[in-house]
Amino acid sequence: MVEREHPENAPELFWYRPPAARPKVLIYFHGGGYIAGSPRSHRGLLAALATTTGIAVCAPRYRLAPEHAFPAAQDDAYAAWRHLRRSGFAPGDIALAGDSAGGGLALSLLARLCAESTPPAALAVFSRGPT
């Protein structure tokens, strides 16, 4: 089951929580070239990640171009991180992941967090190349 959260000062968050989830969270950024996609378009993957890992998956609905110019998506990624930190998660309890453009968001967020000396526990990114 998907839960939606509408935090103040952060993008809408879609939560996938497995039964008896551990007190950790994976922030997942969807792909779509920064112009398409959403947590809904990736719901099968997000649910599978939550079930397989046994931890909650939080998928921000970050702002898309061209309606929202750079750096809107990066700002939303950082706002989602800050919201989880304010909610009580330590950096070591948060992992980042994403596919395609979402992987780019995860990597840019990682760079920012490392510069602030608050890196996450882990990072996983992937993208399908040419076939």
pLDDT of residue 11: 96
Beta bridge pairs of residue 123: 96
Do 125 and 100 meet the contact criterion of CB atoms below 8 Å apart?
Answer: no
Tokens of 38: 């959403």
Domain extent listing, the chain? 2-126
Q: What class does CATH assign to 2-126?
A: alpha beta
User: Which sign, positive or negative, has the C-alpha torsion 99, 102, 108, 111?
Assistant: negative
Report how far apart, in Å, the C-alpha atoms of 131 and of each of 20, 127, 128 are.
39, 12, 8
pLDDT of residue 131: 64
Residue 13, CA atoms < 13 Å, CB-side half-sphere = 25
Do 45 and 51 meet the contact criterion of CB atoms below 8 Å apart?
Answer: no
Per-residue pLDDT of the chain (131 residues; tens, 9 = 90+): 689 999 999 999 999 999 888 899 999 999 999 999 999 999 999 999 999 999 999 999 999 999 999 999 999 999 999 999 999 999 999 999 999 999 999 999 999 999 999 999 999 999 876 76
Total-model pTM: 0.94
pLDDT of residue 22: 86
